[in-house]
Amino acid sequence: MTKNVAKGNNKKLAVKLLFAVVGMFAFGFALVPLYDVICDITGLNGKTGGRVEVAEAGQLIEEDREVTVQFIAHQNVEMGWEFKPSVNQMRVKPGEVHVVHYRVSNPRDTLMVGQAIPSVAPNAAAGHLNKIECFCFAEQPLQAGETVDMALRFFVDPRLPEEITKLTLSYTLYDITEKSKTAAVASR
């Protein structure tokens, strides 16, 4: 009788553990979209929006207000590319369209593909920095020894809260050569 009770208890424990494993697996998959939703709602992580239309830019320029925009470039240490903005900061009027270039060089002797991921600080400003054209919208393949200037065309939304007078746009450049379709096509 004790063997049957022990078997029953083991079976219940196995079922509970199975449910726990399935629940943890499902929770792991739900974290990414949940994180994105939380970042969109709260502005955490400085995630910027996507591309905006040119029609939205320059419609209302606040002539009597200026905001300082700082530009920062980071890259994966193992990547070895040189990556920097043409200016470290600029003063802009909200609503006014500006262009900044980032120079990137591939000193390696092989084709590499990079992808830039933007982040804006403070978090409350993330939804107010609008990119019309940005190198971050696409993969950036560079041949061995190639140097290019990549454009960022942007404007600061006039609805930016008055207390925000400075914001920082930071790009981190990642090596995606192994994952890239561009590298596969170029190597054929």
Higher-pLDDT residue of 145 and 30 is 145
At residue 100, the pLDDT reads 96
Instruction: Give this prediction's pTM.
Output: 0.67
Residue 183 pLDDT exceeds 70: no
At residue 32, the pLDDT reads 62
Higher-pLDDT residue of 4 and 44 is 4
3-state helix, strand, coil in the chain (%, to 5): 35, 35, 30
Radius of gyration of the chain (CA): 24
What is the sign, positive or negative, of the torsion defined by CA atoms of 122, 127, 128, 131? positive
The Cα–Cα gap between 29 and 19 comes to 16
pLDDT tens sequence across 109-164: 999 999 999 999 998 898 899 999 999 999 999 999 999 999 999 999 999 999 99
Residue 49 pLDDT exceeds 70: no
pLDDT tens sequence across 65-108: 999 999 999 987 778 899 999 999 999 999 999 999 999 999 99
* Contacts (Cβ under 8 Å, ≥6 apart) of 151: 99, 100, 101, 133, 134, 135
